[in-house]
Every structure is written in structure tokens, then in C-alpha cells.
Structure 1
Amino acid sequence: MAYEQRSAGSGKHLRDAEDIAAGGAELAPEAPAVLLAPLLAQFAAVARLEHVTRAAAELAMPQPTLSRAVARVEQDLGVALLAREGRTVRLTRAGRIFLAAVERALAEVERGAEAARAEADPVGGRVAFGFLHTMGTEAVPTLLRGFRVEYPKVRFQLVQDYTDSMLQRLREGELDLCVVSPRPDGPELTSRRLGEQRLRLVVPVDHRLASRQRVRLGEVAEDAFVTLEPGYGLRRITDALCAEAGFTPRVSFEGEESETLRGLVAAGLGVAVLPPATAPRPDVAELRLSSPGARREIALAWVTGRALTPPAEAFRTYVLSARERLPFHS
């Protein structure tokens, strides 16, 4: 299964295929492109065959209707494109210039249509899937490996970002689905619970509390904290837990990725509230927090009422069916 990955922090892309990018100016209702768009293919057929009757037969439309359509193109442009010679026609110099542009435009539309169909192809289409940085080590690879057993040709655009940004991308249509925490509110988004993780207080292995199994967050009120940046769901949970414990954390470093924060903790630069590590590190200790609120809910989210493409629908169904096997139940 081919995929491309994008990290919000770096802005870099890993692509398995060439992206199709397009941009254009807003068109006024009287713009030639708006007026002529439905007629271009008809003009091109007449110009290519140099015969109105044969072009009408090819397009399966009445000859008088086609003649009026070509005349309408000339009228809207204010220039003669065809010279009539009995039942045949030939392009004028202006007509040749215009036909070259029309053929390029029609070819581009056809390429766009093919790309749109490929995007939604049930077997080989593409899914735009967002997830938290902490999901990239184990959970997301597990999902993709299981899904590709049945859908080996589906491609993925993978976006790692923080929750608020991913939900905005979801609303704007850039993403089909995303795994976030906390679970989003509001009727414009639908979400389903995937699991819940108990959070840990991560301290250096030589920290005064490192030998403990369980601690109260208030016991590190005077310690420096390393945290995720504002906007991350885990940062909001950390701030709320500290407020519940009666203090505001003294933040010494902010980052975008939990493993980086673990490295900062190991270097003695602070303590952190994080989900359990995928693989234990010998240079930090992960302690249970006594607060019942020291947990985060993981959810799959999508836009309410917006139809998903067949591959995205298939992936959503798979994720929800596989939720009990994911590492979201610590």
C-alpha cells in the first residue's frame, strides 16, 4: 500500500506519486471561460472533423443544435472561427489559435476527471488520514498493516499534527478521517471512541520520586515541566491536571512530539505528563498519577453528513472494527 506522509512540524512531504496541484482566479459570470465552457467540446469536434454533420453524429446531437452552438461560440468571442464551404468547414487563423487552447483545456479537464475518479476508486483510491504524533510509532502502522491485507492498493496521505489543527483540516476537507484526543465536541463533527490511555508522570531515572509506583502531581509542583505546545490536546490535559493539583506548571521547554519530551526529561531538563511509552527507556521512570483525570480518550473523527469516498469509508469501517486490538487501553 503506497502512502505519502506529511509532518506538520517539518512541512516536508514523502510522496509515492506526483501530486496534482491547480490554482486559478475567480471567474466573473460574464467571463469567456464561464460562457463558453459547455460549448468547447462541441466546437472542438466540428473543428477536428471539419464537418458539422459528422460532428453532430459523433456527439449524438441534432445538427441544427450543433450549428447554433458553434455560432454561439463565435458570437460570444466576437470573431469568426470557421469558414463555411458547403457542408464542410475549415478553421480560420483565429480558429486555429482558439482550437489549440481548447484542446489543452479539454485535455486538462480529462486529466482532472481521471484523477478525481482515481481518488475515489474503491480498490486503489487515496485516504487522507491524520493522527497524533504519539500514534505514529505503533498504532498507525498496526492499522495500516491490517488494512492492507484486504486493500493492498489503497494509497494514504498521512498527516501528523496536533488535535486542533487536524480538526480544522477535517472541516476544510483536507482530511477524510483523523485520530485525535480529546474527543471533539460540536454537531459538525462525528467521533467514535477508540480507547483510553492512562497518563504517566515521566521523571529522570535519578529523580527523587523515581522509585515510586504512584505519585500525586502536586509532589512535583516545584519542578520544571517539559510539555507539548499550546493547542495540543495533551497540553490542555496537563494544564488542567496541574490546576486541579493547585499549581501552574513552570514550563522550561515546549515541543511537538512526546519522544522528544522524554529525551528532555532524561537529560534532567524537567518532568512531563505523557502517555505510556511504546518501549521502556532505561533513563526515565514512568509513574502512575493518582488523579482519576490523568487519562486521555482517543477517538476517530470525521465531518458529520459529509460522504466519504469508498476507500475512506472502508478504512473507517476497518479502524472501528479493530479498535480493541489497538494500544489505546492502558
Structure 2
Amino acid sequence: MVHQQSSQEWLSRTGDVEDIVTNLVPRLAYFAGVARNEHVTRAAQEMRVPQSTLSRAVARLEEDLGVDLFARRGRTVALTPAGRTFLASVERALADLERAAEEVRADADAAVGKVAFGFLHTMGAETVPGLIHAFRADHPGIRFSLVQNYGEAMLEGLRRGELDLCLTSPVPDAPDLVARRLDEQKLRLVVPADHRLASRRRIRLSEAAEETFVTLETGYGLRRITDDLCAQAGFRPRVAFEGEEAETLRGLVAAGLGVALLPPPAFPRPGVAELAVTAPRAVREIGVAWLDGHPDTPPVAAFKKFLLSRRGHLLPT
């Protein structure tokens, strides 16, 4: 019974504090203005509000807190010890709010704003740097917050508001997202340099049915594409190793640990041979996605327009 009463009292106090904070926020700037001027009339003139509004706000603030923040001396006021303690925290809070407001305004600025942009690991070495370089030729001041991840993680980043746009594959089909296909990328069968197939330039994927595969982990877009292509070729791949990054898989192939279906590398990798797959058609679609109904800041709108203008020419040739 004692524990229950204590909990109820705690919940009551918590609710009271939340109510006080809700009521405090609009009055903090008024309090700081009066404290800075030590005079209600001068503070009202400086803040361009009626003196009566300022006086009522300060009086209500003291009433809510249950302490006197000012000692009145005619038309002037002076902070009490409680007022000085409170002012130190108020000034820090107001400064934090001002910095936050300046930051979000700067991020939305058409000339120097910021774009939170996600993309696949396989697009980080060449594709994305090339895109940003081309975009900034006309928008030199726009900044980017870049996030490399696999497709599903980036889509969740869009939903949480952590990303504005992302390049992903496969192109998502979800009711809360908007997605546009931009390009497609051929996939190759990567084999060790001393493999029996290494001298070939082209191959039907069914010819690799008995091979051991190294793949990305379940949940990655390229893993789903690999499984689907193998199914179209009439077999289920025997997976020996799973990884999180395409170049790691190339290293495993070079070490003779299996074969892999991968997009072209940004730079040639020794120790492997890369074969064109003639059947089934081995490609992955690349698209841009964003959260449906989410308003774009000017820099995000500009970069989105740029990406959509690159349809069919997104990837380096």
C-alpha cells in the first residue's frame, strides 16, 4: 500500500512538472529580457511587447515556480538568488534553441543548405562522388550528409526522417515511399583467376549451378537479386560465405572461396575474372526514393531534380 501511494505521488509530481514546463517555455524569453534590463519598461520596449504582457508573464512564471525571481524596487527589479540560479539555465536553454533554429534555417537555405543522402556501398567509390561533383558545378555551396548502407536500412532512414533521398536497389514499392527508376547495372559472375571458367568472356548462369557462392547477407537487395537470378537459371545457390560489402566478396572470390554475382568494380581487382552473364538477363535496377508527402527544402528539391534528370545516365560508363 505504501509503495502504491508513493508511485501515485511520483506520477502526480511528474505530471505537475510537465505542466509547468509546457507553461514555462513561452515565458523564458520574457524573463531573460527583464533580467537583462533590470527594468520592465525598458525590457518591454526592447522586446516590442506591451509592458502589461511582460509583467503578467513574469508574475505567472513566479506563480508557476512558487518562488520570487525578482525583488521589486520601484520601477526597477533585481534578481533574487533563486532568480540568478534560474537565469543561468534559462540563458543556456535559449542559446541552445537559437543555435538549433539557425542550424535548421541554414540546412534549408537554397544556396548553402544540406541534403541527407543515402546510397549503396557499391556506389560509394565512383558513382556518388561523380554525381555530387556534377551537381555542385551549379550548386557549389550545398552540403551533403552522406550515409552508406544496404537498401532496407536506408528506407527505414527515410521513414525516421534521417535521410532526404537515397539511391537503392531494387527500386522499392511501398505505399509510404515514392521511388523512380534511374538506371540499371549489369551484374557479372566473378570467379577466381585460376578457375575453370576464368578464360571465358560470357557464361550462362546455369553453368555455375554446381559452384559454391559467396553472397551478401539475407536482407540485402543484391542478395535477393542473386537468389532470384539463380532460381531463374534453375538452381538454388550453395552459399559458403556471407558478407556485408561487395569488395569483401571479391576478396573471398580471389582467395578461391567461391564465385559471386556482383556489379562491376570501380577499379580492377587482381586475382579474379569477371564474366558477362548472357542468361538470364543479369541486371539490377537503381532508383531514387523519398518519403511520400515529405516537404522538400530547396537544396533537397534541387538535388532530386538533378538525379531525375540523370535517368539512363546515372552510372559511369
| TM-score of the aligned structures, taking structure 2 as reference length | 0.90
Residue in structure 2 matched with residue 57 of structure 1 by the alignment: 45
Structure 1 residue aligned with 2:79, among 91, 104, 116?
Answer: 91
Asked whether the equivalents of residues 196 and 328 of structure 1 are also in contact (C-alpha less than 8 Å), the reply is no
Q: Distance in 2 between matches of 1:189 and 1:220?
A: 37
SS in 1 for 2:295: coil
Q: Are 2:196 and 1:208 aligned?
A: yes
| Post-superposition CA distance 1:100-143 (Å, at most 9, x none) | 21111111111111111122122222211111111112111110
Instruction: Sort the Cα spacing of 1:125 and 1:239 in 2 relative to 1 into closer, same or farther, 3 A.
Output: same
Structure 2: which 5+ residue stretches go unaligned?
Answer: 1-13
Residue in structure 2 matched with residue 175 of structure 1 by the alignment: 163
- Residue 111 of structure 2 aligns with an amino acid whose one-letter code is V
Please report how far the alpha carbon of residue 282 of structure 1 lies from its aligned counterpart in structure 2 after TM superposition: 4.9
Asked whether the equivalents of residues 130 and 175 of structure 1 are also in contact (C-alpha less than 8 Å), the reply is yes
Please report how far the alpha carbon of residue 287 of structure 1 lies from its aligned counterpart in structure 2 after TM superposition: 1.7
Q: Distance in 2 between matches of 1:207 and 1:199?
A: 19
Asked whether the equivalents of residues 74 and 80 of structure 1 are also in contact (C-alpha less than 8 Å), the reply is yes
Q: Are 2:310 and 1:322 aligned?
A: yes
Residue in structure 1 matched with residue 241 of structure 2 by the alignment: 253
Please report how far the alpha carbon of residue 28 of structure 1 lies from its aligned counterpart in structure 2 after TM superposition: 7.3
- Residue 225 of structure 1 aligns with an amino acid whose one-letter code is F
Q: Are 2:141 and 1:153 aligned?
A: yes
Structure 2 residue aligned with 1:71, among 59, 73, 77?
Answer: 59
Q: Distance in 1 between matches of 2:171 and 2:17?
A: 43
Where do residues 119-134 of structure 1 align in structure 2 (5 Å cutoff)?
119-134=107-122
| TM-score of the aligned structures, taking structure 1 as reference length | 0.87
Asked whether the equivalents of residues 202 and 272 of structure 1 are also in contact (C-alpha less than 8 Å), the reply is yes
SS in 2 for 1:55: helix
Q: Are 2:310 and 1:310 aligned?
A: no
Please report how far the alpha carbon of residue 158 of structure 1 lies from its aligned counterpart in structure 2 after TM superposition: 1.1
Residue in structure 1 matched with residue 274 of structure 2 by the alignment: 286
SS in 1 for 2:236: coil
SS in 1 for 2:49: coil
Residue in structure 2 matched with residue 224 of structure 1 by the alignment: 212
Q: Which moved more, 1:56-65 or 1:159-168?
A: 56-65
Instruction: Sort the Cα spacing of 1:70 and 1:171 in 2 relative to 1 into closer, same or farther, 3 A.
Output: same
Please report how far the alpha carbon of residue 27 of structure 1 lies from its aligned counterpart in structure 2 after TM superposition: 8.3
Report how many aligned residue pairs link the two structures: 304
Q: Distance in 2 between matches of 1:84 and 1:238?
A: 77
Where do residues 259-278 of structure 1 align in structure 2 (5 Å cutoff)?
259-278=247-266
Residue in structure 1 matched with residue 30 of structure 2 by the alignment: 42
Structure 2 residue aligned with 1:162, among 138, 150, 157?
Answer: 150
Report which of the two has the higher share of helix: 2
Residue in structure 1 matched with residue 8 of structure 2 by the alignment: none
| Post-superposition CA distance 1:237-286 (Å, at most 9, x none) | 11112222232211111112212212221221100011123344453222
- Residue 58 of structure 2 aligns with an amino acid whose one-letter code is V
- Dislocated runs of 4+, deviation >6 Å: 26-29
Instruction: Sort the Cα spacing of 1:137 and 1:143 in 2 relative to 1 into closer, same or farther, 3 A.
Output: same
Structure 1 residue aligned with 2:126, among 138, 163, 184?
Answer: 138
| Post-superposition CA distance 1:19-38 (Å, at most 9, x none) | xxxxxxx9877443222000
Residue in structure 2 matched with residue 113 of structure 1 by the alignment: 101
- Residue 139 of structure 1 aligns with an amino acid whose one-letter code is T
Residue in structure 2 matched with residue 101 of structure 1 by the alignment: 89
Asked whether the equivalents of residues 39 and 75 of structure 2 are also in contact (C-alpha less than 8 Å), the reply is yes
SS in 1 for 2:167: strand
Asked whether the equivalents of residues 194 and 328 of structure 1 are also in contact (C-alpha less than 8 Å), the reply is no
- Residue 194 of structure 1 aligns with an amino acid whose one-letter code is L
Please report how far the alpha carbon of residue 320 of structure 1 lies from its aligned counterpart in structure 2 after TM superposition: 1.7
Asked whether the equivalents of residues 215 and 288 of structure 1 are also in contact (C-alpha less than 8 Å), the reply is yes
Supply the RMSD in Å over aligned alpha carbons.
1.9
Q: Are 2:222 and 1:234 aligned?
A: yes
Structure 1: which 5+ residue stretches go unaligned?
Answer: 1-25
- Residue 326 of structure 1 aligns with an amino acid whose one-letter code is L
Instruction: Sort the Cα spacing of 1:27 and 1:132 in 2 relative to 1 into closer, same or farther, 3 A.
Output: farther
- Residue 251 of structure 1 aligns with an amino acid whose one-letter code is V
